[in-house]
Chains A and B, each alone.
Chain A
């Protein structure tokens, strides 16, 4: 213990506990209120998913659709919004759940809104996901397009969206699983990435639908 510390003044009198408690409540209200204001400044609409702040142009890409025809995604060119998911047809749980839930969200939209939305599954397993297999898979879950992109273009496309994937449980050339990012990326009619949902958020169909309706009505052109 130094001489300095011995000469430290005793300090002010403690506040009454009720005044300290009131200040504590005020401080918590300011922190949480500040977080709310920050979130609203970043994105005026209270997205349930994670908003892109600011929205950024979605990367274009090309591949082959489930009918084996060349397919090109040019963001903003169709005048429709696009929900993009990276998955694969041998996926045991996440991909089927994701496609099932996104179809439920789609069905919850009005007919007019449904016409303004495309759903795209980009296969992260182009070796096994043939066009025929993709077609059967996406049609089983509803109305979506299955897109096959060969490597190395696939890894570039996935990376440009912030998605990753990795082969695991390799038991043979045709026997393996693929771990992959489980987000759905929503591109608006203006070609901007607006929001993403993790697949665990999708069971909240009404909240996802609310995000989707807002983006359909408010594209960034």
Chain B
């Protein structure tokens, strides 16, 4: 992982929560989010007209959607982005919100039993993106390529991290959580056992990177070696806190994967086949 933000150096190196969360307006982020939100609530309002629609789309799903959208905006549009170079921990917290908090909220906010035709282009595309192999490979590539201190291609890593990495964390997080929670059963063949194995494997790269940061005795991430850090923390303390943040952020997905594996084992023990599991979260 490497980045150097082009933002002005903040004068205050002990910002409070209100300073960190002050929002800015970038139309390239706000407008798409507002458009998707409008589309979501338009469909929600239509669905609520029928009893079946209300059952498929209970009131708490829009609440999760709003929560996910709000977290997305704070992770990308708050003043915390100005302190990226002064706190690896703050930066990691933002990335983990995008990868491990926003995606499950957005996936769970989708109505139950979405019937997507697997023969249509959108169904085919989502069928590929939510293939466990594809999601695992993309997720692992994003975690490994941008987090290995040396970087496989320093120029690409350095010059894409600031703008591209948050988006990649969000998209690959959506893919991973899409596989785990299986919101589109008509295009997602994975049964609960394979989703459990998937969750376990998907947690591994992040946990490995988190462990390295947690236990390393030197600062591995170059731009932070001599960084001017927030709240009087040292760069090494920042790295260790980042490791904790990454590890804690990965725990819910890991726990869910273990639950799925246990459910699969129980099904096997009961002599059932794992072909038609219920979607997790129902």
Binding site for B on A (CB under 8 A): 1-15, 17, 20-21, 23-25, 27-28, 31-32, 35-36, 38-39, 42-43, 46-53, 94, 155, 158-166, 179-183, 196, 198-201, 207
Contact = CB atoms under 8 A, between A and B. Distances in A.
Contacts of A8: 112-113, 185, 276, 278-279
A23 B131 CA distance: 9
Contact of B228 (A17, A36, A42, A164): A164
A198 B154 CA distance: 13
B50 to A, nearest CB: 13
B137 A35 contact: no
Interface string B165-185: 000100000000000000001
A43 B113 contact: no
Contacts of A9: 115, 185-186
Contacts of A27: 128-129, 134, 137-138
A199 B4 CA distance: 12
Given A20-B132, A32-B141, 8 more contacts: A2-B282, A8-B185, A23-B133, A25-B137, A35-B164, A38-B164, A47-B155, A196-B4
A3 to B, nearest CB: 8
B13 A20 contact: no
B120 interface: no
Nearest to B56: A4
A166 B228 contact: yes
A24 B159 contact: no
Contact of B134 (A10, A24, A43): A24
A24 B137 contact: yes
Q: How many residues of B sit at the interface, in one of the four size bands? A: 35 or more
Contacts of A166: 13, 228
A164 B168 contact: no
Contacts of B11: 155, 159, 164
B282 A1 contact: yes
B250 interface: no
Interface of B: 3-4, 6-11, 13, 55-56, 85-86, 112-113, 115, 118, 127-129, 131-134, 136-138, 141-142, 145, 153-156, 158-160, 163-164, 168, 185-190, 194, 222-223, 225-229, 275-276, 278-279, 282
25 contacts: A2-B55, A2-B112, A4-B56, A4-B112, A8-B112, A11-B188, A12-B127, A17-B133, A20-B132, A20-B134, A24-B134, A24-B137, A27-B138, A31-B141, A31-B168, A35-B145, A38-B160, A46-B155, A49-B158, A53-B159, A159-B9, A159-B11, A162-B7, A196-B4, A198-B226
Given A23-B128, A28-B138, A181-B9, A10 B222 contact: no
Q: What 10 pairs between A and B have smallest CB-CB spacing?
A: A24-B137, A164-B9, A20-B133, A5-B282, A182-B226, A50-B4, A46-B155, A200-B222, A24-B133, A14-B189
A159 B10 CA distance: 7
A28 B140 CA distance: 9
A24 B136 contact: yes
A38 B155 CA distance: 12
Contacts, number: 159
A24 B282 contact: no
Nearest to A21: B133
A4 B156 contact: no
A52 to B, nearest CB: 6
Contacts of B190: 14
B9 A162 contact: yes
Given A31-B142, A162-B6, A198-B4, A48 B134 contact: no
Contacts of A6: 278
B128 to A, nearest CB: 6
Contact of B8 (A10, A53, A159): A159
Contacts of B223: 198, 200
Contacts of A164: 9-11, 13, 86, 228
Contacts of B145: 32, 35
Given A12-B186, A14-B189, A198 B222 contact: yes
A35 B160 contact: yes
Contacts of B113: 4-5, 7-8
Contacts of B159: 39, 42-43, 47, 50-51, 53
Given A164-B9, A200-B222, A10 B137 contact: no
